[in-house]
Structure 1
Amino acid sequence: MSEIYQVSPWYDTEEWNRVYNDIFGVTSTLTTKKNALDQLFIWKARCPSLPSGIEATISLLNIHIQDQGRHYDICNDHVLRLAYSSALMRFVNVMFDKETKKGLSLFQAADTFGIPEWIIDLRHNTAHSNIVPHIELLREASVISLDWLQKNYWDKHKSCISDYIVGSVHIETEIEKKITSLMNFCVSLSICSHPKCNIKNLAEITDIHLRESLVNDAKEVCEDLDFSNLKIISIDTLGNILNIQAKKILIDEASSSYVNRALLSNESAFISIEILKSLDYIGYTTDKPLNTEYVQCFTGLLSFLFTYDLLKDFVLELIKVTQSEHENSVKCKLAAKWVSVILKALKNNQQFMEKIYKADTDIMSKDEKELKSLYYHWYPNYKKRTLFLDLHKSIPREFTNINFIQPIISTYNPYLVLFIRDLLTLVRPQLSDSVKTKICKLAKVIASPEKFPVMSPKIYTSDDLDPANNLDSINESKHYEDVKIMEVQMESKNKVDKDGSKQKFGVWQLASKNASWATCPIGQLPWTQLTNEPMESQ
């Protein structure tokens, strides 16, 4: 998902409102303004680049508090006037910098936003004249500027500022609601398009819940469609409606994120463990591939994602599910199996396109049925493939780039073994079989840490998966005997304290108390220093 967040210097809305009330509230006093200024300085420490309105407020409020506090022992009249002048200059500059960049003068910008012209004159006199404005004039300008900031910055933000709580209920935007409805419709239509169902129109759907679900989803996507006679609404018609609406809705930059969120939510049928269990009761918890009957329920959905270039991001989100430590293990395994199925389907397209390129065959004039027939002609051994995508399209180029998939295969993931070979097969230039085999073996090592004790001194590689080297076949006593020998060898190298006692910290021991560290050169240990021998005279 791709969402944009902005870091704010205030802890929450309550803190922001407290500062506002301390400065501009009806009960505001010099003491509350001092408290507000202290809080503004805390915001400045948290976030050095504050909004222009807050920066200007700090400058004006700071000198206002100094003046009201009558700190003339450290701030005489001339210095006070200079401070006021500097604060007003900063206020004008930071608040109207964007306007002057557009080509407006400061006077034009001030007139547009309701700042008195004489305050701009004060700013110019301060910047370009040798005469510092009178203190009473500066005080009046400061009060007017703070009032302007209250109305044009603080009050406007007060009406819209709110807290964002991580983990709170997600509020869908209008476009996200449309995309969610579209994907629910696509999933329902995909299930009803299962080859074994042989459904021609809505009236032929015997399962009442499935029929109602499809009709409700279709109504949300297309409100103008009349559902009074279900016999005349065919599955093909609904498919056409799906594509028409998709071209209208899937135009937002965040469409891919919304699609993934809809399909991988707990309410989605695609990742539903209950549906998987009902169609594959025996194999749903094992490492066996997804069976054909189950995969065909979502063939239409995956074809839809591939057609609208949404499949790559969807596969990456499925991989994130497999990497999550907080997801149910069955759900992670289901996601990994789906990744394998999709990657195998992409492999179909890849090898078909490569064959087409070599044969110099025109495929644009052929329909999908003709292309699939041609594929089977070239690859008769692959007739058992359960999922075919649009053979007119090439696969996402990212999956052919070893640098792109490197983070995927190098991240700890116990379910990586279920799809890593399918991923490596897509890489171009092709990896050798030996390299792919070794990478797959390493993935298996990572996926089965229980077979490789953490306390063992041995560094394991893919060769340890070889039955001849498998730990299960190694005599356990021999293993611990080797460890014991290693410990004895390490102990023989350590110094013993005067009292003969040792304190062990893993493979480390305390140094001797007699060690003379002060006389030890950098890079040496006290007990390893070489004896200084006089050099032979030449």
Structure 2
Amino acid sequence: MAVSGKHDGIKQVPWLSPAEWHDVYRQIYSNDAVEQTKAYETLLTWKARRMPKLPAGVDCTLSILQVCLRDREWTSKIDNGELPMYCENDLSLMYSTTIMRFLNYFSNIGQTKQTSMFKIANQLKIPEWIVELRHETAHGHELPSIGVLRVAINILLLWLHDEYWAPEAHAMEKCYLKKGEEVLEEEGESEVEDFTYMIEIWTTVSLYVTADYKLVSDLPDTQLREMLQDLRTYMLSEYRSKTSDNAENEYVSVYKRTIKMDKEYNLQAAKTLLLAKISIDLNKSSNNYQWIGCPIGLLPWQVDSLKSLEPLQLNPSKHPVSVLDSQIVAGIINRKNLKMQSCIKWDDVLRKKRRIERKCNKGVVDVMNRALEIVKNQK
């Protein structure tokens, strides 16, 4: 039912994001006039965007919301004498037109093209008496009563939930759960690779220190020299200290600790910088992850948080169930009758996790192996 413009295999939709679509879905079935008005205004915005046409479910929801909101605005004024009584006939005409357009719309979807509107309604599980209302509207001398029309429009709004909004939310949920898992897996691998990168470089430098290498410039491995020079440049650019001395040595200040950088870049200073960088990355991660709740042997980003999603909670109705059962209010749905709801926690699924600054260099294993060979040969 979410038929929309397509181009080169890409489905064009009028909403800016799945989150925007989901907000509208929640507002429509909130049983709150203010929330439903927001949804109506957003649907009008979607209609105004350059699209071949709105999805059938969205377009019909727009028409239904329009008449329901107008009914709730006018009815109290009619009862209080603020509007003339003939305005109720105007409402009946709006309801009848909406129902006619609804049935005409869905009679042309998919494989529902039949010679009889009653057969179409049966196939779509729409009550037969609503089709009779359509015929009464089109061919009768009087419009159906406003009370019957309200019942019919609420049934169609409920039908749209079960046949368009909830299935579409479920489809989005499956899609974004899958994408969320892929993102978590990819970013988890990236985090692990980056930490492994820093720790292995620190181990490599320790091996060269053990082999009595003093300066970074003395290292026989060009790749490692470049890595350590890049680290020095990065740390000075980000954490340069205001401390100075007569020798004009440079200093890095990290977490109230000052690291002296001699003019000649020695390996001990490189080791200290590596440890400082690891501490920085760990501290940044602790702002985004709950380390205390992470199982031993796992890093926080390796925990699949998508498995613990809670069902989506719609806003509670401001209308008691007894009112819903005894009175027909346009656009107010008893949510006990809703078949399904999205159970996605969109803030979790759609969030973009932080990526740390440096990407893992695939040559780090080679750097370590070369260092091991050099140390072995010197013994």
* Global fold match (TM > 0.5): no
TM-score, normalised to structure 1's length?
A: 0.29
TM-score, normalised to structure 2's length?
A: 0.40
User: Larger Rg: 1 or 2?
Assistant: 1
Q: Which has the higher contact order (CA 8 A, sep 6+)?
A: 2
